[in-house]
């Protein structure tokens, strides 16, 4: 016979919720159970694995606390360990071990984490504890961890476009039977416009959350952070309702011009027509399917106002790029984190941490990153990423910067974009060629160059734009690794045809800039 006490003991489950697993629609929460206790924890292993933006730490804690309050008000049992609690042992392993030792739990459960490091930690923890354990999926993504690997099995090239089309078909997104709704899959060529000079972009929706108490708690510790914060008017969404409001704002106000201007850049305009929904999505306050459904609904209601390419450009980012990057991560880790195709070794210029440079494009992109923990894709790829690659910075240093500074930065999507797409450190798994440019691309897509200290058309001398000589220096130094790439061959033809004295002057100029990089 099993007595009541024994039954109770048999059924005590401890479930861990990570700071980026705030998915209230997860099936875990569909019913309340006396036998289940959830645990959430603010811990130093997570605040300190990289130097994060202060807004990122505060934003995650604020969202975690709000999520915990919601679970409790729905009747769930929850243990919440705040950063400075006495009984907080500051790591997942130590806290879970302690809870198992001090409570009658008989089973431990977690949702599969998105980060390899945490995955390994939790697997090891499960081996070391005295109770049974299991893992469930996070019920957030369109794909599972291995789906991309299976899709490209045996293929040398992992082309995003092929994966994206398969995702559209599999999920019936903007499809008519097995054909794309409009007969055309790709509208990239419609989506590369510069903003007209006197265009005034839509003012971004920002929140005014008061997160001063969390900031105070962080300030009591020696956690090192980057950037600034207005803690009484914190601009980022910290709960599901605010995330849905931001999504609604995007669909109503920004979607009609999203595609056209998704690659455009303008000084002092930090958000333009972008959704800024990545933070909410990456911590799972909302799901990619909700985002996709909402924008398609908006387009269906306003077919005459929202051109199809604006919508497709957005859908592609989410069911294409986002899922693709996650798939690459799980297919290639842990080796991916050590790739350095060009064997780059330089330090990151010091002004990446301060924004103090005379280069207008970098000054703007870095300052808005310090101010908001946000820069849009082309600023990340073609301004900060482009310069770091041209300067030969070690991918570890670049990864650490991107992983720390952005609100939405989590390794699964950061490293694939940074080491892969931006730095070509994977030698061409994610991209078919390195994303580098001289001033001409930056000037074509932005309004940065006109008011810059440097001159976009000058290649050598005092006022020469550093991108110009560093660009040719990059190709020259990496010729043995790149010349056979069919997408780059043309550049080498131009380089080889250049007069020797011009080439020498460009390389000398690049050398000068590289030797004085912190003064640029
Ligand atoms: P929007 O422009 O409105 O796009 C909508 C959504 O599409 C985004 O929210 C995002 O979820 C998705 N998306 C767009 N591009 C990509 C992409 N290349 N990869 C994955 N998803 C994409 N994104 C992150 O979420 N976290 C990161 O840490 C991150 N690091 C990056 C580092 C570099 C060097 C580069 C070049 C890109 C990085 N990205 C990262 C991708 C992209 O820049 C951001 O997703 C985007 O800027 C987020 O802003 P948004 O929500 O306004 O995006
Ligand atoms: C990024 C982050 C930070 C700064 N702090 C915490 C934390 O204190 N507790 C927590 O559970 N999660 C935090 N996170 C998010 C985790 O780093 C994230 O869950 C893992 O990287 C898995 O993706
Ligand atoms: Fe950037 Fe060069 Fe243009 Fe200045 S001139 S904004 S450094 S690309």
Residue 225 CA to ligand 1 center (angstroms) comes to: 22
Q: Determine the pLDDT at residue 490.
A: 87
Considering only CA atoms, which of 104, 95, 108, 158 is closest in space to residue 134?
108
Record the tokens describing residue 428, joined without a space: 């061409």
Residue 283 CA to ligand 2 center (angstroms) comes to: 9
How confident is the model over 227-241, as pLDDT tens digits? 999 999 999 999 999
Helix (H, G, I), strand (E, B) or coil at 102: helix
How confident is the model over 341-378, as pLDDT tens digits? 999 999 999 999 999 999 999 999 999 999 999 999 99
Considering only CA atoms, which of 402, 405, 404 is closest in space to residue 421?
402
Residue 492 CA to ligand 3 center (angstroms) comes to: 23
Torsion sign (Cα): 150, 154, 156, 162? negative
Residue 4: pLDDT band (50, 70, 90) is very low
Element (H, E) at 15: strand 13-16
DSSP 8-state assignment for residue 208: -
How confident is the model over 99-129, as pLDDT tens digits? 999 999 999 999 999 999 999 999 999 999 9
Q: Determine the pLDDT at residue 3.
A: 42
Is a pLDDT exceeding 80 seen at residue 2? no
Instruction: Say if CB 194 and CB 444 are below 8 A apart.
Output: yes
Is a pLDDT exceeding 80 seen at residue 9? no
For residues 470 and 511, what is the distance between their CA atoms, to the nearest angstrom?
8
Residue 10: pLDDT band (50, 70, 90) is low
For residues 16 and 411, what is the distance between their CA atoms, to the nearest angstrom?
20
Mean pLDDT confidence for 39-46 = 98
Ligand 1 within 6 A of CB of 351: no
Neighbours of 461 (CB within 10 A): 9
User: Which residues lie below 8 Å from residue 310, measured CB to CB, with a gap of 6+?
Assistant: 255, 256, 257, 258, 259, 260, 299
Mean pLDDT, rounded, of the chain? 95
β strands within 85-197, DSSP E: 107-111, 132-136, 175-176, 179-180
Ligand 3 within 6 A of CB of 454: yes
Helix (H, G, I), strand (E, B) or coil at 366: helix
Ligand 2 within 6 A of CB of 312: no
Query: Residue 65 CA: which ligand is closest?
Result: 2
β pairing state of 175-176 and 179-180: antiparallel
Residue 215 CA to ligand 1 center (angstroms) comes to: 26
Helix (H, G, I), strand (E, B) or coil at 75: coil
Record the tokens describing residue 187, joined without a space: 């509208």
Mean pLDDT confidence for 490-503 = 93
Residue 130 CA to ligand 2 center (angstroms) comes to: 25
**Closest ligand 3 atom to 383 CA:** 1
- Report how far Cα 361 is from the mean position of its chain's Cα atoms: 20
Residue with tokens 């020797």: 500
Is a pLDDT exceeding 60 seen at residue 8? no
Q: Determine the pLDDT at residue 229.
A: 98
N-terminal to C-terminal alpha carbon distance within the chain: 79
Mean pLDDT confidence for 18-41 = 97
**Closest ligand 3 atom to 362 CA:** 1
User: Which residues lie below 8 Å from residue 2, measured CB to CB, with a gap of 6+?
Assistant: 10
Is a pLDDT exceeding 50 seen at residue 7? no
How confident is the model over 283-310, as pLDDT tens digits? 999 999 999 999 999 999 999 999 999 9
Is a pLDDT exceeding 90 seen at residue 191? no
The residue contributing the CA closest to ligand 2 atom 1 is 46
Q: What is the rounded (10 degree) CA torsion for 410, 414, 415, 420?
A: 160
DSSP, residue by residue, 416-458? IIIIIIIT-TTSSSS-SS-----HHHHHHHBS-GGG-SSBTT-
- Report how far Cα 428 is from the mean position of its chain's Cα atoms: 20
Residue 372 CA to ligand 3 center (angstroms) comes to: 22
Q: Determine the pLDDT at residue 157.
A: 83
Is a pLDDT exceeding 90 seen at residue 332? yes
State residue 108 phi and psi, 5-degree precision. -120, 135
% of the chain with per-residue pLDDT over 70: 98
Ligand 3 within 6 A of CB of 406: no
The residue contributing the CA closest to ligand 3 atom 2 is 465
Mean pLDDT confidence for 79-91 = 97
**Closest ligand 1 atom to 262 CA:** 2
Ligand 2 within 6 A of CB of 52: yes
For residues 201 and 268, what is the distance between their CA atoms, to the nearest angstrom?
11
Ligand 3 within 6 A of CB of 361: yes
Query: Residue 450 CA: which ligand is closest?
Result: 3
Q: Bridge-partner residues for 180, per DSSP?
A: 175
Ligand 2 within 6 A of CB of 54: no
Q: Determine the pLDDT at residue 346.
A: 98
Q: For residue 318, with 0-12 CB atoms within 10 Å meaning exposed, 13-18 middle and 19 or more buried, which class applies?
A: buried
Element (H, E) at 37: strand 36-41
DSSP, residue by residue, 248-302? HHIIIIIHHHHTTTTT-B-TT-SSTT----HHHHHTTSS-HHHHHHHHHHHHHH-
Best probe residue, ligand 1, of 250, 408, 435, 437 (max atoms within 8 Å of C-beta): 408
Q: What is the rounded (10 degree) CA torsion for 433, 437, 440, 446?
A: 100
Residue with tokens 């800024």: 276
Instruction: Say if CB 211 and CB 58 are below 8 A apart.
Output: yes
Ligand 3 within 6 A of CB of 391: no
Residue with tokens 């300067």: 391
State residue 11 phi and psi, 5-degree precision. -110, 20
Residue 279: pLDDT band (50, 70, 90) is very high
β strands within 67-152, DSSP E: 77-81, 107-111, 132-136
For residues 118 and 511, what is the distance between their CA atoms, to the nearest angstrom?
41
Ligand 2 within 6 A of CB of 448: no
- Report how far Cα 330 is from the mean position of its chain's Cα atoms: 16
Ligand 3 within 6 A of CB of 366: no
């Amino acid at each position: 016979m099993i007595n009541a006490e024994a039954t109770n003991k048999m059924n005590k489950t401890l479930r861990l919720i990570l700071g980026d697993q705030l998915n209230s629609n997860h099936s875990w929460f569909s019913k309340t159970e006396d036998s289940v206790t959830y645990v959430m924890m603010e811990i130093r292993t997570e605040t300190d694995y990289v130097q994060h933006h202060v807004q990122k730490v505060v934003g995650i804690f604020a969202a975690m606390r709000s999520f915990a309050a919601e679970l409790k008000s729905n009747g769930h049992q929850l243990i919440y360990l705040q950063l400075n609690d006495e009984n907080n042992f500051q790591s997942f392993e130590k806290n879970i071990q302690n809870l198992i030792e001090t409570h009658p739990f008989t089973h431990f459960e977690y949702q599969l984490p998105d980060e390899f490091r945490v995955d390994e930690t939790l697997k090891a923890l499960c081996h070391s504890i005295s109770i049974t354990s299991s893992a469930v999926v996070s019920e957030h993504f369109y794909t599972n961890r291995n789906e991309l690997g299976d899709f490209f099995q045996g293929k040398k090239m992992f082309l995003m476009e092929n994966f994206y089309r398969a995702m559209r078909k599999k999920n019936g997104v903007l499809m008519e039977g097995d054909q794309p709704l409009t007969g055309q899959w790709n509208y990239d060529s419609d989506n590369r416009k510069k903003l007209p000079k006197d265009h005034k972009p839509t003012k971004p929706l920002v929140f005014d959350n008061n997160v001063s108490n969390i900031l105070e708690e962080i300030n009591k510790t020696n956690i090192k952070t980057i950037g600034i914060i207005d803690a009484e008017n914190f601009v980022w969404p910290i709960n599901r309702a605010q995330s849905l409001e931001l999504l609604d704002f995007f669909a109503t106000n920004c979607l009609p011009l999203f595609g056209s201007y998704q690659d455009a850049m303008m000084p002092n305009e930090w958000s333009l027509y972008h959704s800024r929904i990545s933070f909410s999505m990456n911590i799972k306050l909302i799901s990619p399917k909700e985002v996709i459904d909402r924008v398609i609904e908006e387009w269906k209601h306003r077919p005459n106002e929202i051109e199809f390419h604006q919508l497709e450009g957005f859908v592609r980012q989410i069911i294409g790029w986002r899922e693709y990057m996650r798939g690459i991560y799980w297919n290639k880790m842990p080796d991916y984190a050590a790739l350095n195709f060009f064997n780059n070794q330089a330090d990151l210029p010091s002004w990446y941490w301060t924004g103090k440079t005379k280069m207008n494009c970098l000054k703007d992109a870095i300052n808005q990153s310090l101010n908001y923990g946000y820069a849009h894709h082309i600023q990340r790829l073609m301004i900060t990423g482009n310069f770091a690659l041209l300067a030969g910075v070690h991918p570890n240093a670049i990864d650490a910067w991107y992983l720390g500074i952005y609100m939405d930065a989590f390794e699964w999507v950061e490293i694939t974009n940074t080491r892969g797409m931006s730095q070509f450190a994977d030698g061409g798994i994610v991209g078919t060629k390195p994303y580098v440019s001289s001033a001409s691309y930056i000037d074509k897509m932005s309004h940065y160059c006109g008011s810059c200290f440097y001159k976009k058309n000058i290649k050598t001398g005092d006022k020469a734009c550093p991108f110009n000589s560093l660009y040719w220096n990059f190709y020259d130094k990496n010729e043995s690794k790149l010349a056979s790439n069919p997408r780059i061959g043309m550049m080498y033809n131009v380089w080889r045809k250049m007069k020797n004295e011009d080439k020498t002057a460009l390389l000398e100029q690049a050398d000068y800039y590289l030797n004085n990089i912190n003064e640029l």
